[in-house]
Structure formats: structure tokens, C-alpha cells
Amino acid sequence: MRTLSRMIAAIGAVSLVAACSGNDGTSGGGYPEQNITIVVPFSAGGPTDTVTRMIADPMAKALGGKVVVRNAEGAGGTVGAGDVARAQPDGHTVLMHHIGMSTAPALYKNLDYQPLEDFATVGLVTEVPMTVVARQNFEPATFQDLVSHVKANAGTVTLANAGIGAASHLCGLLFQSAAGVKLQEVPYQGTGPALTDLVGGQVDFMCDQTTNTSGQISAGKVKAYAVTTPDRVKSLPDVPTTTEAGMPQLRVSVWHGLYVPAGTPPEIVQKLSGALQAALADQAVIDQMAKLGTAPVTAADATPEAHRTHLDEQLKTWAKIIADAGVQAS
């Protein structure tokens, strides 16, 4: 009888362990158990926010749960990224970040996280071309005219960006380096406010993602000079590339990827990656991205492995560019 009691107790213990291991966040069995929050470390209405909201509902459908988007802007995306790095590694807090994830370690001396150590990669999402745009009544007519104009008026021309470390800031650094000028930079707290002032004529020009500028260009609210990719953008067929316009050095696109805190169970990372791949294959997402001059990455690139390899390469690339530019954020 005592032996039988011990067997029953042992079976009960094994059952309890099995039940707990499937629902306590240490495996993917019961995931998601609550709303999943995707943190966007930039302002609402900006390009990274736009891309995130495109995939949120399709990902939620694939996961069988609810996905909400939270904006936590500040310090070139490092505030929101830091929040996620410190979050519970259970897959319910996810970060959408862009190229800034690979530039922050070189830009910020006192960064409180390291991309490869404090995050697990989920998958790449999209690679967005950049556009060089200006207020509608800015004097230069072509990209070549723009370069000549800023060289002749470097002390008065204003170059807007969404803040130190933002994609627009990085593109602006490359433009100044390629043109051999130092311009008066005007940083904003996010792309939305910067573009608003550009449309309003308060600043002269900026470099920003097609996800944010395509609509303004099509509506005639800003003047488009060039796209920063090797090929023209389908949604902006009349806008030349920087290579065509005589500045091949200005080649940059903004890639986006999803991250979770380091230590998140691999099963959950794979579930998120699978949901991302399903979202990127959704025709509505493909159509929305096309209107903004971009496209989803391939299924092979929307994986943790491909994303980590790309991040590692980009960290090395931008470390040199930023060091050469002598730029440092506080």
C-alpha cells in the first residue's frame, strides 16, 4: 500500500511539473498567455511605427492572441530598446527596431544594453529606401543643384532629422560626408514632427524613409531629389537614384527587425518568427508596403539566424562610419 501511495504521489508530481512547464513561459506550450506588446522606440506616425502597425494584426491572427503597439520614443530609440532589454523574457514584450539597433553602440558612450548580448533576434521585416526631400519652395531644382546649393550656403541651410541616431540622422551624416560640407542640423523628437516642419517650410531639407515620405511626395507637399538605393523605387519612378544623380557614396536603406529580451525560450522565439513570416506573406501587408516604396523580406531573412547575422555585420559597418564622422551622442 505504501509503495502504491508513493507511485501515485510520483505520478502526481510529474503531472504537475508537466503542466507548469507548458504554461509558465519556460516553453512555448501555452504561449501567448496575455497580450503581446510590440514596443516601437520612436514616435507614433513615424516610419517604424507605420511598418509595425502593418504587421501587428496579421501576427496576432497567426499567434491566436492580441498584439498591441506601444510607442516609447527618446534618445534615438535607446529608451524603448532599453525597456525591452530589461523586460521579462517570456515573449510578451517585443521590440521593433530599425538600423539604429546597429548604430547605437557606436553613438552612445553610456548605452545600457548591447544588441547581441541583451536581445534575441526574431527576424528581419523589411528594408526601406531613403529619400532626399525638401520643402516645396526650396530653390534647387535637381539633386545636383542641391549639392551645389548646400556647398555655397552651408552656414544657412538647415538639415532636419528625427534625432541623434535616427535613420534620417545617419543618412544626413552620409550626405554631408559625400558632399564635403558641414550643415546646420535641426534634430526633432521623431520623424513626424520633422516632416511636419519640412512641409511647413520651417526647415530646408532632410533624408527620410519612403514609408514616411511617399505620400507627401505624391501629394506635392515636398520636393523629392533622389532615392538612396541602387535602383529606382517603383512607387516613385520619376525620382532618380543618388548614383544616377552623381553621388554613389550616398547609398543607405533602413532595415527593420523584431527582437525579444535575451533568455526568451527558443520555442517562443520560433513561434514569433513563424507569425512574422505569416504576416509578411499576407497580401494586404505586401500591398501596403508597396504603396510606401518597400516590400517584405524573404521568408529566409525573417528568421532569427539570418537576422542575427545581419545585425552582427551592420554593427561592424556602422562602427567605422560613425567613428570616421566623429559623432557622439550623450
- Report the percent of the chain where pLDDT is more than 90: 68
pLDDT of residue 327: 76
pLDDT of residue 29: 67
Residues of the chain with pLDDT under 70: 1-29, 330
pLDDT of residue 62: 98
Name the pTM for this structure.
0.76
pLDDT of residue 19: 35
pLDDT of residue 84: 98
Structural domains of the chain ordered from first start: 33-127+254-325 (3.40.190.150), 129-227 (3.40.190.10)
Peptide bond into 140 cis (omega under 30): no
> Are 264 and 91 a contacting pair, CB within 8 Å?
yes
Query: Could you give the residue ranges of the DSSP H alpha helices within 86-190?
Result: 100-107, 115-118, 143-152, 167-179
| Cβ partners under 8 Å of residue 104, min gap 6 | 76, 77, 78, 81, 111, 115, 165
Interhelix angle for 191-200 vs 210-218, to 10°?
Answer: 20
What's at 134, amino acid-wise? A
Q: Which residues pair with 197 in a beta bridge?
A: none
pLDDT of residue 141: 97
